Amino acid sequence: MDKKARAKERREKRRQEISLLRTIPYSDHQRWWSPDTVAVVTGANRGIGFEIAHQLAMDGLTVILTSRDTGVGDAAAKVLQDGGLNVFFHQLDIVNPLSIETFTDWIQQSYGGLDILVNNAGINFNVGSDNSVESAEKVIETNYFGTKNMIKAMIPLMRPSASGARIVNVSSRLGRLNGRRNRIGNLTLRAQLEDVDSLSEELIGGAMDTFLQQAKDGTWESGGWPKVFTDYSLSKLAVNAYTRLMARILSDRPEGHKIYINCYCPGWVKTAMTGWAGHITPEEGADTAVWLALLPDLSISGKFFAERREINF
Ligand SMILES: NC(=O)c1ccc[n+]([C@@H]2O[C@H](COP(=O)([O-])OP(=O)(O)OC[C@H]3O[C@@H](n4cnc5c(N)ncnc54)[C@H](OP(=O)(O)O)[C@@H]3O)[C@@H](O)[C@H]2O)c1
């Protein structure tokens, strides 16, 4: 059997294992949440985000399904409400400061805060073997800075609890620092990004600025950046680095006020982003986000997951 066939077989086996795991209900003592537990999902009008909202609501939480477009967001929430689920819609564009501010005020006034934040909203303009950086600014602005904006805005509103509040960032293996392929060629930068003690917003933002400047002046191809979906991969690399940085910053919060933050790769999923190509369904792609959001006794933070398993950054 060749390498590709073996990988396919492994994938299929893991899919079956996870689909079996999903049929096992949480026991009463594992259920740290209640119908009053509030989960916010960004970009939840379709794709993986919609499924994350669906599955969290099926598990009995109150879900705030957000979308930058009011019409489609409202319609998506109605689908879940018609199924008897506790889902509410609010407009949220993660790159619009006014939209974030309005949402922040609303969630504070309506629920006194939130318990779970799933940063799912994201964009990508490359498909197949394309690698244009024409939309690099937009991609990095949304995937990295939008996610960071949401984390900053929501942290002060995360409600104290014995189980800890949770942040799950939907990322991608394409943004791995140490993947077998698609690495950053600049060894100094890679070492700096790898060392959690030297990580800073300035370091991550500086790397994004350097790339964006090179994308603008046409020199990015010799910059040693990831070769596949360069702008998207870098935006997710920044999300991964920021996850580790925030885990370090949040780690000294006292018991009862803990916030755990992790990221995961959903796999290659059949959604609009991939032109409905991919190995797996949005239901399967949503699984690890929901698992991380609901893990009983979660004390894991600053880690990267795929298919419910920790993987290296
Ligand atoms: N599909 C995959 O194979 C794959 C693999 C790895 C990671 N991911 C990640 O998974 C996440 C979900 O992707 P998907 O595959 O479900 O793609 P999708 O169907 O294109 O969904 C993306 C969602 O993000 C929303 N969004 C984009 N910009 C936004 C903004 N500024 N504010 C709020 N929402 C915004 C979109 O809203 P509109 O409907 O208004 O555009 C849409 O709801 C993304 O972070 C993506 O990078 C996907």
What domains can be seen in the chain, in order of their start residue?
Answer: 33-175+229-311 (3.40.50.720)
Assess whether the C-beta atom of 141 lies below 6 angstroms from ligand 1.
no
Assess whether the C-beta atom of 68 lies below 6 angstroms from ligand 1.
yes
Q: What is the pLDDT of residue 299?
A: 83
Assess whether the C-beta atom of 48 lies below 6 angstroms from ligand 1.
yes
Q: What is the pLDDT of residue 284?
A: 96
What distance in angstroms lies between residue 120's CA and the mean position of ligand 1's atoms?
A: 6
Q: What is the pLDDT of residue 4?
A: 85
Alpha-carbon span 75 to 69, nearest angstrom: 10
Chain segment 110-127, per-residue pLDDT in tens: 999 999 999 999 999 998
pTM of the model: 0.97
Mean pLDDT per 10-residue section of the chain, whose length is 313 residues: 87 92 91 98 98 98 98 98 98 98 98 98 94 96 98 98 97 94 93 96 98 97 95 98 98 97 97 95 97 89 97 94
- Atom 20, ligand 1: residue with shortest CA distance: 273
Assess whether the C-beta atom of 73 lies below 6 angstroms from ligand 1.
no
Atom of ligand 1 nearest to the CA of 96: 31
Q: What is the pLDDT of residue 297?
A: 76
Task: Confirm whether 260 is a catalytic residue.
Answer: no
What distance in angstroms lies between residue 312's CA and the mean position of ligand 1's atoms?
A: 23
Q: Could you tell which of 41, 46, 125 is best to mutate to test the pocket of ligand 1, judged by most ligand atoms within 8 Å of the CB?
A: 46
